[in-house]
Amino acid sequence: MGIGNRARRAAKAKAKTKTKAKAKTKTKTKVEARAESGSRQAFGDSAFGGFGAPSGPGAPQGPPSVAELAAAVLEAADLRARGDAVAAAGCLDGLAELPGPLSGSLSRAVHMAAMDGLTHCWRTGWQPADLWQITRKRLPAAQTYLDDLLAADAARHSAAALAPAWAAQLSRLEVEVWWDADRPHLDQWAARHRTSPGQAVELVVEWLALVRRLPRMSELIPPPGSAAARSAAGRGARPMGVDDKVLTRVRALLAKAESTEFAEEADAFFAKAQELMTRYSLERAMLDAGADGVDGAPGGRRIWLDAPYVSAKTLLIDQVARANRARTVMHTQLDAVTVLGAEVDLELVEVLSTALLVHASTEMVSAGRQQDGHGRSRTKSFRQAFLVSYASRIGERLTAADVAVARTMSVGDDRLLPVLAARSAAVGEMVDELFPNLATKRVSVSNSAGWGAGRVAADLAELDVRRAVR
């Protein structure tokens, strides 16, 4: 029986070797002899567009061009994205055996293919911050390479071709062109990160395969060079956003709330921050009403979350958003949340959500680990229930506070409520347009102790905006 098993394993290994050799020979022939463009342009049939010069029986023979090598790189990535690892390895082996004089061409081809992949992402609704987050989560080894791609992409567009929100994301990511533009980028990146050129090529192919599998996203910011991006750039930075001075004050208050060890001080700082945010948002709405009701179209932000307890964290963001007249959509497979609303409300939701997520996580960990009567761990169910309860209670408090402030500010002034109603209607229409097939997701809990502890923690983070700001 043992001899038979060994024989079968040997036969399988031999067949696998033959398959890989076939793929390798086929790829090498394609790259060196300019094989038919139909087989060479696997990405050409997709949104990537592909590369390649005319080819076929009558095409001139000679060394492959940079564009043709880029097509081979894209094909290797396409094969890997489809799960054909053997054929993809064959493509890479064929590229690795190119003559020395062509190695520089290959480095340039890899960069060309990567930039093509980046353009594909922009065309399918992804933004710089989105791509940075998904790469961090799924292929962290390619994080610094992506930083360079983003810098290179920004460098080929003028400031007039970038929407302010897009430029702001690039600024926060702090990407820059550090390499010598007269030399192939891939070689310089590999040397900087102490990896071989071959490993660098494999990493880029793996990253291209990753982005090839990404789903299409709703476009929230127009991509570089588009007419919409140029129009947004012409209007100036953050036309409908929050004033920088207000954001600075809000962030300072929230930072103090997060850093203090005393619950009463945290309460006061959170309360001041929420009142400042709510009053600013409503004052902006009244200004819009004063300008003949002119209000900017609603926009969107994506907030990325880290496991565990993503569904509970999403619920917290949803509660903050609803209290501030915004809506949320959860991307289950990506651990991301899209928030839709007026620009001023989006900034406030993002700032407050970030602070509350930190506060909730800190309080959750402080509650310690939980066990049942038999000594079995119930920490996971406790923490899930804690966060869900925290989110639910925070939502109740924020909504009540917002209603109270709106009621106070609308007394004697009938402009506010119609403007808020118009904003809500516009946000609802945007949700229906971008996400026509939404399904409601429910979050369940099974730990009463965690539920009670979460509610207590939310009560401690009191957000009573009726308290005066001094």
Residues contacting 190, CB < 8 A, separation 6+: 196, 197, 199, 200
Query: Which has the closest alpha carbon to 237: 173, 170, 146?
Result: 170
CA 59 to CA 239: how far, in whole Å? 54
Picking from 50, 174, 31, 181, the residue whose alpha carbon sits closest to that of residue 108 is: 181
Are 349 and 341 in contact by the 8 Å Cβ rule? The answer is yes
The answer to whether residues 198 and 107 touch, using CB atoms and an 8 Å cutoff, is no
Closest among 416, 277, 288, 283 to 355, alpha carbons compared: 277
- Taking the mean position of all CA atoms in its chain, how far away is CA 70? 26
Q: What is the DSSP string of 435-462?
A: -TT----------HHHHHHHHHHHHHS-
Contact 142, 77 (CB under 8 A): no
Q: Residue ranges per domain, the chain?
A: 17-212, 241-460
Instruction: Specify the amino acid at residue 5.
Output: N
pLDDT value for 362: 86
For the beta carbon of residue 124, count every other beta carbon within 10 angstroms.
16
Using alpha carbons only, what angle is made at residue 56 by residues 43 and 118, rounded to the nearest 5 degrees?
A: 20
The owner of tokens 């790189």 is: 73
Q: What is the pLDDT of residue 25?
A: 47
Residues composing the chain: 470
pTM value > 0.75: yes
Helical H segments across 196-243, by residue range: 197-212, 227-235
Give the pLDDT of residue 44.
Answer: 38
Which of 188, 24, 203 lies closest to 113 in space, CA to CA?
203
pLDDT at 14: 52
State how far the Cα of 20 lies from the Cα of 246, in Å rounded to an integer. Answer: 61
Q: How far, in Å, CA of 344 to CA of 242, rounded?
A: 5
Q: Angle CA(132)–CA(138)–CA(139) in degrees, nearest 5? A: 75
Rounded to a whole number of angstroms, the distance between the first and last alpha carbons of the chain is 85
Q: What stretches of 285-435 adopt beta strand conformation (E)? A: 299-304, 327-331, 336-341
Q: Which of 257, 252, 274 is nearest to 324 (CA)?
A: 274
pLDDT along the chain (470 residues), means of 10: 50 51 46 36 37 45 84 94 91 78 82 96 97 97 97 95 94 96 93 92 96 95 93 69 77 80 71 75 71 66 94 93 91 94 89 88 79 63 87 82 75 72 89 89 70 68 39
Residue 57: per-residue pLDDT: 52
pLDDT at residue 10 in the model: 54
